[in-house]
Structure 1
Amino acid sequence: MDELTRVREWGADSNGPSDQARTAARTRLRAAMDEESRGLASRGRELSRRLMFRATLAGMTAAAVGVAVVVARGDEDEDEGTPRLSTVSATEVLRRAARRSRTQGSEVPPPRNDQYFYTKTYISRTPVKGGRTRTWTDESWMSVDGSRPSLREEYGKIHNDPPLGEHEVRWPPTVYSKLQKMPTDPDKLLDALRMGQKSSPESDMHVFFEGCMLMMGPRVMPPGLQAAAFEALSKLPRIRLDYDDVDVAGRSAVGVSYPEVDWTFLFDRRTYDYLGLRTKGSVPKKVGKDDWVQTGWYWETRTLQDIQVVDRIGQHA
């Protein structure tokens, strides 16, 4: 059996990629073939059939993974008590997460500037090439406005952070009054995150990164802000589903990411609760007087287990 016949049979299978995935795959394939043909023509060679097979298979697989994934619909079958499944896009996952955020709200009261955020964060780190997963459960007390010393635990190590300097600011802010000034209309928030830049793959990448930063730090969101952030990011044309098999502290997660951004939002596959962030990192290694290389690449997942507003370091709510 030749390779192209295998591709046809794979695509005809009932579990094959969706029509949307096939269309995206064909577009990627044509672009890859045109680019490769131009390069090969200048070298006087023809595009090999095996290369075409690899491009077809890779493109269709990437499209199938990036476009949709089977997740729980969020409603249950009354007779069986089990979630019904459907295939959704990254856009729909973010929209459902926004609806979930509005429904849930926040049980944490708005903080005063002189208070602290107490947080308990679960961190897991797994080598990209496979190996033992390391985990930490860090507790920290962060000054809400940065005017007081903070105690921060990172990978099990304690750091005593001094107050912010006179001209230092936190972005995104942690002060509730500053967060209240951020728009809760998704379109206006999207414009604010663009910081005056026109829509482009580069500015969209910046917007997605800013959205990750907004969700990463300890803060209490004013009503509607988290939902608006998810809806704003759902409007980015290149968002995709990733890491749909991630286990986040015992909960199966589906991820939403953006090309060339090593950050992924993780949501519960059943409820669409926001669970945390996943990122790709490395350990810098010095190889010369002023030269460093990145080694030991890993996947890291952070999940906020608890957040409370307290009056002093060491206090639990």
Structure 2
Amino acid sequence: MDELDLIRDRADTIGFAPAEHLTPARERLLAAARGERPHRSRRLFWAAGASIGLAAAITAVVALAPADRVGIGAGVAHADPVKVLTEAASSALKEPAKPPRPDQFLYVKTEYAIPPNREVWLSVDGTRDSLIGNSKEGGCRNGKAPMYGTNDPRAEGTLEDCVPESVYRTDLPTTADAMLAYLYGKEADRDGRATYIGKAVYTLAYEQVLQPASYAALFEAAAKVPGLTALDHVTDGAGRPGVGIRFPVPPGSSPKAQPIVLVFDATTYQFLGTEDSAVMVKTYVDEVGRRP
């Protein structure tokens, strides 16, 4: 085992220190490194305890330095992204199907790394008024939906044409290939649309409800997207640890373009959210404004 292998081994064991611990810890390490030691002691240290010292030094480096400074990548996981998404699909299949009543509401509470957080009450069949935060969204009844929150008070409550949209999706494919075709739609440039697929997967897994077979197909379809990367030591928007699946940005994107990273529980592979958001509660309630 060479030094780089030893670094990787120690990194897997102890992980990385949080950012707020790095500066004082580095200062202590550098202060110790500057301390005077007798030459004889230094020679004895390397002669008698080189292996132990190397392991300790590696532990300090791994714990204190950013990942990209010790040559093991920015948190790149040893797990294969296809395996992670396949396990997520298997986990989804084990979830019991819970068809809601048409008159119920889907309640979703989301926490963000940067507040404010979000609560929504979405009409299951799309015919009743929903609530997104403090904003009402008109339900579609008999082809008409009332308008709320308009800039023109005279338009408040007026009706506009609509088609009811259900958050309980029974119309989605249940196989990976069919789901992938659904996600891509008419997009021909598949190599450049990985970010689009990542966002589409997030949208379906977030504030909508799929049947277990469709959830499984969703993650299996995502596993077929080229260029995915599995990331260790990531957290969702609420700080929960997990494994991340990063969807690459399209070729030629701005250097500032941020890839979407979906976060899954590292043990159960349940979908948690993204690095910026966390789905904390997702269930049905009987009334707008009611919390479970």
TM-score (norm. length: structure 1): 0.56
The residue type paired with residue 204 of structure 1 is A
Q: Does 1:151 align with 2:131?
A: yes
Q: Does 1:123 align with 2:98?
A: no
Task: Give the % identical residues.
Answer: 28
Per-residue CA deviation, residues 263-288 of structure 1 (Å, 9 max, x unaligned), is: 2211112221111123xxxxxxxxxx
Q: Does 1:311 align with 2:291?
A: no
Equivalent residue in structure 1 for 2:223, among 234, 241, 252: 234
Mapped partners of 1:205, 1:193: distance in 2: 12
Mapped partners of 1:209, 1:247: distance in 2: 15
Equivalent residue in structure 2 for 1:91, among 82, 87, 101: 82
- The structural deviation recorded for 1:65 is 4.5
The 3-state SS of whatever aligns with 2:288 is: coil
Mapped partners of 2:89, 2:193: distance in 1: 22
Q: Structure 1 residues 265, 247: closer, same or farther in 2, change over 3 A?
A: closer
The residue type paired with residue 275 of structure 1 is L
Per-residue CA deviation, residues 80-136 of structure 1 (Å, 9 max, x unaligned), is: xxxxxxx31112111111111112335xx31244321122322322xxxxxxxx564
The residue type paired with residue 218 of structure 2 is A
Counterpart of 2:192?
202
Mapped partners of 2:236, 2:209: distance in 1: 25
- Where do 1:22-171 residues align within 5 Å? 64-65=73-74, 68-69=76-77, 87-106=78-97, 109-125=98-114, 134=115, 136=117, 138-153=118-133, 158-163=134-139, 165=145, 167-168=161-162
Mapped partners of 2:281, 2:122: distance in 1: 13
Q: Does 1:244 align with 2:233?
A: yes
Equivalent residue in structure 2 for 1:182, among 150, 165, 172: 172
Mapped partners of 2:83, 2:236: distance in 1: 21
Mapped partners of 1:181, 1:92: distance in 2: 27
Contact 1:216–1:277 (Cα < 8 Å) also in 2: no
Contact 2:231–2:245 (Cα < 8 Å) also in 1: yes
Q: Structure 1 residues 223, 192: closer, same or farther in 2, change over 3 A?
A: same
The residue type paired with residue 182 of structure 1 is L
C-alpha RMSD of the superposition:
3.2
The 3-state SS of whatever aligns with 1:184 is: coil
Contact 1:276–1:304 (Cα < 8 Å) also in 2: yes
Counterpart of 1:3?
none
Structure 1 residue ranges without an equivalent (≥5): 1-8, 18-56, 70-86, 126-133, 279-299
Counterpart of 1:259?
248
Counterpart of 1:72?
none
The residue type paired with residue 121 of structure 1 is T
- The structural deviation recorded for 1:231 is 0.7
- The structural deviation recorded for 1:237 is 1.4
Contact 1:189–1:229 (Cα < 8 Å) also in 2: yes
Q: Hey, which of these two has a bigger chunk of strand by percent?
A: 1
- The structural deviation recorded for 1:16 is 4.8
Contact 2:110–2:281 (Cα < 8 Å) also in 1: yes
